[in-house]
Amino acid sequence: MITNIFWFRNDLRIEDNPALVHAIKHSDFVIPIYIIQKSDLENDKWGFPKIGLHRRKFIYESILDLKNKLLALGSDLLIECGDPKKIIQSICEKYSIQEIFATREITSEELSIEEDLNSITKLNLIGYNTLYQVDKLPFKIQDLPKHFTDFRKKIEFSLEIDDCEKTPLSIKSPSPFPKSFENIDIFYNKNLYQFEGFNHFVGGSIPALKRILEYFWETKSLSNYKVTRNEIIGENFSTKLSPYLARGCISAKQIYWYIKKYELEIEANESTYWLYFELLWRDYFKFVALQKRNKLFFKNGWSPIELDFSEDKDTFDLWKEGNTKEPLINAFQKELYLSGFMSNRGRQVVSSYLTKELKIDWRMGAGWFESNLIDYDVCSNYGNWAYQAGVGNDPRKDRSFNLTIQREKYDPDNKFIEFWEKKK
């Protein structure tokens, strides 16, 4: 009897999970596991918690949602905390594990862990949590177009989106099932969380599908997405699906096929296309990270021009804490800190201000976002910051935003600024 491990990472779902389906198919028994890594509990090079309270809450809820889904299939979820190599090595020895199955990751920290695990037993990595599969692209990853528009034109009408994988009906696991790490408070203690009135996201695949139902069919907000996506206040100006995508509570393919279903049942217009367009941007940043590797974290990215960024902490702290001379910047920053969310427009405006006006190292801003955003995704976060800073995939190196125009256009009645400037 073959017993293998399925290692959940940023794919916290049983629906449309090709790596999980593969593990079930090639195993008699599967031990699903999620590991809270020691590094997840530490601070980054700038002194920020790598995973702030907002994202910890969301991950915790997503883990519990996944555990309940697995229990319903006859399995369970082993939750551990520590060094992945030591934890998985112990399980491999105890259960004579032959293979570890997981979804591929892209950036250096994750790849380093993969190398460690590959030294224990066979590591079978499948897919990339993308809409389009890397091996089906009409070019090699080193030939990825420099600009998004060229990328979109090359694949938009030439590649088909795969169907979603069928959801497993059952998963057999060893009995008794391994006992989980009990002190989850070390990662997330709900008694210390004080942001309930601001953060309305609940983690998990069930809340993700509930959000699809609300945004698509109950309110039909998808029909207006292109018009509202740059707004900054309200429940339905954006899909609010990004946290679920980032943790893999829902897949990009699932969202794509829900768009297609909506287009058949309700309507197809510029807005329904535009949500697909945004999924395409997400893929592009993942492919950029695959191509550029550690350059994603260099001060000058992959720009041939060396830009003069400062690491002045006092100036950065004014931006971080929402104490600049610009009320719109301050409001966005307070929203981020208190809710773990910031609109797409807000992210562009505050990153432009930090890098173009204050001339601060964009990686400090990216680190602050990493710490605070519920929907943090390494490729999109660092790819977007490099893009805004002029060291990434953007032909317009002088991109910047006029804050007076932004304020007049997106907060003409001062409602957004007034709401957040009262908050502490």
Close Cβ partners of 122 (under 8 Å, ≥ 6 residues apart): 98, 99, 100
pLDDT, tens digit (0-9, with 9 covering 90-100), for 271-283: 999 999 999 999 9
Is 243 in contact with 57 (CB distance < 8 Å)?
no
Q: Could you tell me if 198 and 53 are in contact, meaning their C-beta atoms sit under 8 angstroms apart?
A: no
CA 2 to the chain's CA centroid = 33
Q: 385-402 pLDDT, tens per residue?
A: 999 999 998 756 667 889
Q: 75 pLDDT exceeds 90?
A: yes
In terms of phi and psi (left: phi > 0; alpha: psi -120 to 50; beta: otherwise), the region of 284 is alpha
Res 305: pLDDT:
80
What does the pLDDT look like over 101-144, one tens digit per residue? Answer: 999 999 999 999 999 999 999 999 999 999 999 999 999 999 99
- Give pLDDT tens digits for 189-230: 988 898 988 999 999 999 999 999 999 999 999 999 999 999
* Burial class, 264, CB count within 10 angstroms (exposed 0-12 / middle 13-18 / buried 19+): exposed
- Adjacent-strand bridge partners of 80: 35
The mean predicted confidence, pLDDT, of the chain is 95
Helix or strand (DSSP H, E) at 399: none
Give the per-residue pLDDT at 349.
Answer: 97
How do 122-126 and 99-103 pair as beta strands?
A: parallel
* pLDDT confidence of residue 395: 53
Q: What is the pLDDT of residues 8-40, one digit of tens each?
A: 999 999 999 999 999 999 999 999 999 999 889
Question: Exposed, middle or buried by CB within 10 Å (0-12, 13-18, 19+), for 406?
Answer: buried
424, pLDDT greater than 70: no
- Domains of the chain, start order: 1-127 (3.40.50.620), 130-163+206-296 (1.25.40.80), 298-421 (1.10.579.10)
Model confidence pLDDT, tens digit, residues 407-423: 999 999 999 999 998 87
> What are the tens digits of pLDDT across the range 293-306?
999 999 999 988 88
Distances (CA, A) of 23 to 66, 67, 104: 17, 17, 14
Task: Provide φ and ψ at 380, rounded to 5°.
Answer: -65, -40
Q: Is a pLDDT exceeding 90 seen at residue 185?
A: no
* Beta strands 122-126; 3-8: pairing state: unpaired
Which among 104, 373, 362 has a CA at the least distance from the CA of 246?
373
